[in-house]
Amino acid sequence: MSYTYAKSIDQSTGLPEPVNPVNPSLSRGLSSFDMRHNFVGSFLYEVRKFRSTSHSTNALTHGWAIAGIARFASGLPVTLLNNNDTSLLATIPNGINNNGVDTPDWSGAAPHINTHRRNGGFVFEPSEFRLPTLGTLGNSRRRFFSGPGLENMDATLSRRVLVSDNRALEFRAEAFNVFNHAQFFGAASVEGNISSASFGQAVSAMPPRLLQFALRYRF
């Protein structure tokens, strides 16, 4: 098992994010890769032979194994953008300064993150943000809150049958996202562009439960 607690702050995560030329302090915020909590645990259990049981029982129970990896992590920050160029600084897409200077105006209310996205609600309340007055920059930082986190389990069930001393037949059943959680995890999974009709909504998700089976002959 491993657990990491961390926080990363910067003024610009990359070249497409220029620093606010009027108020540089507004550019200071969470890095796009900031992840506060990250827990990863793995396990493996193999069924061994039992001396007190019969040969036929051992033949049925021996060779089975179950393994898995579980990960629980905080969400990545939501990047807030405003592509309307309300500042009149030519920060439209492919403009002089590219995206990232203009941000929305924020009401100051602490954003409430909807972690139960199956109910169809917004990830965060879009009404807490609005377009700034023409000729002004927004008062919102580029990133100051995070989206939904990750709760994932991958597991494998396998059975190995010895054919001879150096040969074995192995059957494997593998499942990714075993519990089929709807996971809106990722830097671009939540729309933070106030110019978009999907502002505040989840626009992408991690894959649903995936199953695969394999038969392998070892020699």
Residue 63 makes CB contacts below 8 A (sequence gap 6+) with 47, 159, 160, 161, 162
- The structure's pTM equals 0.80
Q: How does pLDDT run across 169-203, given as a tens digit for each residue?
A: 999 999 999 999 888 888 788 999 998 999 999 98
Strand partners, 196: none
Q: How many helices (H) and strands (E) does the chain have?
A: 1, 10
- pLDDT for 63: 84
Q: List the chain domain ranges.
A: 2-218
Over residues 93-150, the pLDDT tens digits come to 554 445 668 899 999 888 888 876 566 678 999 999 999 999 888 899 989 999 999 9
Q: Which of 175, 180, 178 is nearest to 213 (CA)?
A: 175
The confidence score (pLDDT) of residue 97 equals 46
